[in-house]
Amino acid sequence: MRIFKFGGASVKDADGIKNVFSVLEKVGHEDTLLVISAMGKTTNALELVIKNYFEKSNELHSSLQEVKKYHYQILMDLFEDEEHDVYFAVNSLFADLEYFIRSNKSPNYNFVYDQVVSFGELISTTIVSHYFAQAGLKNNWIDVRNFIKTDNTYRDANVDWEKTQQLIAKGVKKKALNITQGFLGSDENNFTTTLGREGSDYTAAIFAYCLNAESVTIWKDVPGVMNADPRYFENAILLNQISYREAIELAFYGATVIHPKTLQPLQRKEIPLHVKSFINPLLPGTSVSKGKDLEPQTPCYIVKRDQLLISLSSIDFSFIMEENISEIFALFHQYKMKVSLIQNSAISFSVCVEDKFGNFNDLKNILAKKFKVAYNENVSLYTIRHFNKEAAEMVEKGKTVLLKQISRETLQVVTKE
Ligand code: ADP
Ligand code: ASP
Ligand code: MG
């Protein structure tokens, strides 16, 4: 079986969905499982609904209307017959969402978040599945929550591999075209969970692992994995082939074209990953596979914006020792701050972190009890893999460098623009 993942950008409007159909016509659709994300920026739009809900804002209704309007426009562009079953199916999903918002009693933000954002994927897959059927392509819509089981860490759930493996191996129809949602799972009590933003690539890898798939293809709005994000770097070039190792490094440092959790399950079973263009589906794109000799021969640039540079020093000039460091890391873990760079000296310790969940203020107060805390907000972390002198100069040009770290293959610079 092949696993295809189509992200938000590929299904952002009616033409996008028609294009996905034409991609399948070109590359085949037998014995294939499609993992599909929410349409366009729907997850962000639903995040706004959740924010308005918790803030009891007057905008709650209008923010939800926006989400509806967007999807009904796509429906009208795809289905002329207003009596088509798809309208009934989507109405009923929106009714479920509104019912949840009206009747929810849980004050747990992360729990509510997952129950609400999941409608993005449920609605998008429902629309795509009906559209394919209308266009004569039989397919099997499956609710991923019956297959991917997780713990109840809402917004960042951990997969229960044993249960998931059993359910997928038993329940997914072989030879057919299956359509399911990315990013979602469910916990022991069957409440919806999510795997972390941009987690649909990971969903594709989970299915591939459990089905021993022949390959995974993630279809993108770019030709494949490039040596830099073409949105920010002119003259980015395509990397035709890279190793799992290189792809993990690039994703870890922040190349958002692949979700970092995607690679490990694939690498364990040596399932090849293809990153291809949904605009030019017959071009080869990038292949990610095993092999030491697949290192790019050119510098690869990665930028992470909106980072925090935190420097901790001891209040009394004592050394920052192992026990301090382990305590600090336990706190970062507890406050869900992802560390992307570490540097330490005798009495100070600096880290560049990402505060995805807005926890820094709370953490800062705790750290301040033991350390002198200095920090810079809104800094950028540039990473260059396979760097050379020109590449380093280019990245630093015109910026204030706050911190720099060099290893054999990788140069990292924290800058303030
Ligand atoms: P999806 O629609 O699957 O969610 P994303 O928007 O998350 O797709 O990922 C595709 C985007 O990743 C591209 O539009 C591109 O701007 C960005 N990107 C970041 N780094 C790279 C890279 N090294 N190579 C190609 N694209 C990259
Ligand atoms: N829709 C989710 C998000 O935007 C998951 C994904 O697209 O991968 O984060
Ligand atoms: Mg995405």
E strands, 258-321, in order? 273-277, 286-289, 300-314
What is the largest distance, in Å, between two alpha-carbon atoms of the chain?
75
Q: Which residues line ligand 2 (CB under 6 A)?
A: 7-8, 37-38, 43, 120, 182-183, 197-200
Q: What is the pLDDT of residue 51?
A: 97
Q: What is the pLDDT of residue 317?
A: 73
Domains of the chain with CATH codes? 2-213 (3.40.1160.10), 300-416 (3.30.2130.10)
Q: Is 281 in the pocket of ligand 1 (CB under 6 A)?
A: no
Q: What is the pLDDT of residue 291?
A: 84
Q: What is the pLDDT of residue 99?
A: 98
User: Angle at which helices 60-78 and 109-134 pack, to 10 degrees?
Assistant: 10
Q: What is the pLDDT of residue 330?
A: 93
Ligand having the closest approach to the CA of 201? 2
What six digits make up the tokens of 81? 């017959």
Of 205, 94, 78, the closest CA to residue 129 belongs to: 78
Q: Is 220 in the pocket of ligand 1 (CB under 6 A)?
A: yes
Q: Is 20 in the pocket of ligand 1 (CB under 6 A)?
A: no
Q: What is the pLDDT of residue 221?
A: 96
Query: Is the pTM value of this prediction over 0.85?
Result: yes
Asked whether 44 and 67 are in contact (CB, 8 A), the reply is no
- Give the side-chain half-sphere CA count within 13 A for 280: 7
Q: Which helix (H) or strand (E) holds 317?
A: none
Pairing of β 177-181 and β 140-141: parallel
Ligand 1 pocket test target in 42, 217, 237, 257 with most atoms within 8 Å of CB = 257
Run means of pLDDT, 10 residues per run, the chain, 417 residues? 97 98 97 98 98 97 98 98 96 98 96 98 98 98 98 97 97 95 98 97 98 98 96 92 93 92 96 98 96 81 95 82 85 92 86 92 92 94 95 92 93 93
Ligand 2 pocket test target in 114, 200, 206 with most atoms within 8 Å of CB = 200
